[in-house]
Chains A and B, each alone.
Chain A
Amino acid sequence: MIKTSIARKVAMALSGLFLILFLGQHFTINITSVFSEKTFNMLSHFMGNNPLVQFILQPILIFGVIFHFIMGFVLQIKNTKARKQNYESFKGNSNSSWISRNMILSGIVILSFLGLHFYDFWVPEINYKYVEFLPNDPDRYYIELVHKFHSPIRVLIYCLSFVFLGLHLLHGFSSSFQSVGMNNKYTNGIKFLTVAFSIFVPVGFIFIAIFHHLNVVN
């Protein structure tokens, strides 16, 4: 079933919607770091030690991320092959948004960012728990987070990446519903939700990064 064009489109949409759910959950936990160190540590400790999260949800998430990116590249290659001879003149902006035509570019930026993000947080976490078997410390998460935002270059990279994430969401969110066959009286509401989510969540992540950077500097 995954071999047909519609199946690929639906698979892309479902994996994208799953990642959007994860993004919302990730943001909800991260924003607590601005208000309460204790709450952030408690939630992070729960996510990092709950067996359901660690051994079932985390592998599903990693699979979802990898699947979404591989399918994105597969679609890009197939679509490029569908038109061998390009136009001399092609006014894409007259009928579609730049971001809808360049999801692969924003996707590559997000993929690069994920590499840095995994290097910053996921790899040290795995190392802490499953390689060095260090003692369980429920209060370490906030300090680790703040420490990472000390570097202005890292903060800048994070901020730029979230701008691209916002652009990616701006097309991808509502587009996913279209792909799974939903275009009805709720479509305008979904488009509104798409714009709200695509602005609120990335701006929120940027705020968190700058907030902790300024706190450390001060």
Chain B
Amino acid sequence: MDLTLKIWRQANVDEDGKIVNYSISDVSPDMSFLEMMDMHNEQLINKGEDPVAFDHDCREGICGMCSMFINGEAHGPDRLVTTCQLHMRKFKDGDTIVIEPFRANAFPVIKDLAVDRSAFDRIQQAGGFISVNTSGNTQDANAIPIEKHDADKAFDAATCIGCGACVASCKNASAMLFVSAKVSQYSLLPQGKVEATDRVLNMVKQMDEEGFGNCTNTGACEVECPKGISLENVARMNSEYLYASLKG
């Protein structure tokens, strides 16, 4: 396939970026999107140009590092996949592909397509954990009976890989789906209920401080999430937050 790539190039966080047009030939439909980007970068290096910076790590859809906004959608036109799982067979010969970084004030561009998503780390640090005594007498998790229904929902929430597609897709750059998944995965389980009140208050406070937008329930986040995290988690977080606020 011969393609035209329109790629966002930005030297660093302080400089303005712009879209730069490139042509690429002989792209195999069996390539992953990132392999196509690797091929493109090789060509740039061979020409003595600066390769395009982009985030990637595991390349099997579990680390949440890849973060491109491809043809107007986070992780591209496919559903329930990350960019690394997107294949070039989703595109046609002669296509023009617009590739941009995930955009939100809370996700500043480091370079080109690589963005700083440490805001998510700080939200996690604000309450996305359970405090356990690890001195050797910790109770075995399997010794605590948990209803299958709750265990399944907690696991579904825990599949969030924190890639930031929810923020990127939301017209308001809201992080509610990510935060609600992290709140839900603990609050649904007995081990997480002890700190549930502080957790939701602290994580929402940190989310607001990071500068994410407000959720208006468009549902774009749920559709674009590579792990299919449900909006049900957002409703759960809302009710937990209300309860926690009233409880003080």
**Interface of A with B (CB < 8 Å)?**
1, 4-10, 75, 78-79, 81-92, 94-97, 100-101, 103, 171, 175, 178-184
In the complex the two chains form, is A95's CB within 8 Å of B73's CB?
yes
B interface, size bucket: 35 or more
In the complex the two chains form, is A79's CB within 8 Å of B172's CB?
yes
- A82-B72 contact in complex given A101-B218, A180-B242, A183-B232, C-beta closer than 8 Å: no
Most buried by A among B105, B214, B219, B242: B214
Chain A residues with CB under 8 A of B236: 181, 183
In the bound assembly, the distance between CA atoms of A20 and B207 in angstroms comes to 31
- Of B38-46, B96-104, B122-130, B188-196, the segment with at least 4 beta carbons within 8 Å of chain A is B96-104
Residue of A nearest to B221 (CB): A95
In the complex the two chains form, is A96's CB within 8 Å of B172's CB?
no
**B163 interfacial by beta-carbon distance below 8 Å:** no
- A96-B218 contact in complex given A79-B213, A89-B72, C-beta closer than 8 Å: yes
In the bound assembly, the distance between CA atoms of A90 and B223 in angstroms comes to 14
In the complex the two chains form, is B220's CB within 8 Å of A82's CB?
no
In the complex the two chains form, is A85's CB within 8 Å of B103's CB?
yes
Can you list 30 A-B contacts (CB < 8 A)? Answer: A5-B204, A5-B208, A5-B212, A6-B237, A9-B214, A9-B215, A9-B216, A78-B214, A79-B174, A79-B214, A82-B174, A82-B212, A83-B103, A83-B105, A87-B100, A88-B19, A94-B223, A95-B220, A95-B223, A95-B224, A96-B223, A100-B219, A175-B217, A178-B231, A179-B217, A181-B235, A181-B239, A183-B232, A183-B236, A184-B232
Residue of B nearest to A93 (CB): B72
In the complex the two chains form, is B235's CB within 8 Å of A183's CB?
yes
Chain B residues with CB under 8 A of A1: 245
Chain B residues with CB under 8 A of A84: 105
In the bound assembly, the distance between CA atoms of A184 and B232 in angstroms comes to 8
In the bound assembly, the distance between CA atoms of A139 and B5 in angstroms comes to 71
B226 to nearest A CB, angstroms? 13
In the bound assembly, the distance between CA atoms of A8 and B241 in angstroms comes to 12
In the complex the two chains form, is A91's CB within 8 Å of B211's CB?
no
Residue of B nearest to A83 (CB): B173
**B185 interfacial by beta-carbon distance below 8 Å:** no
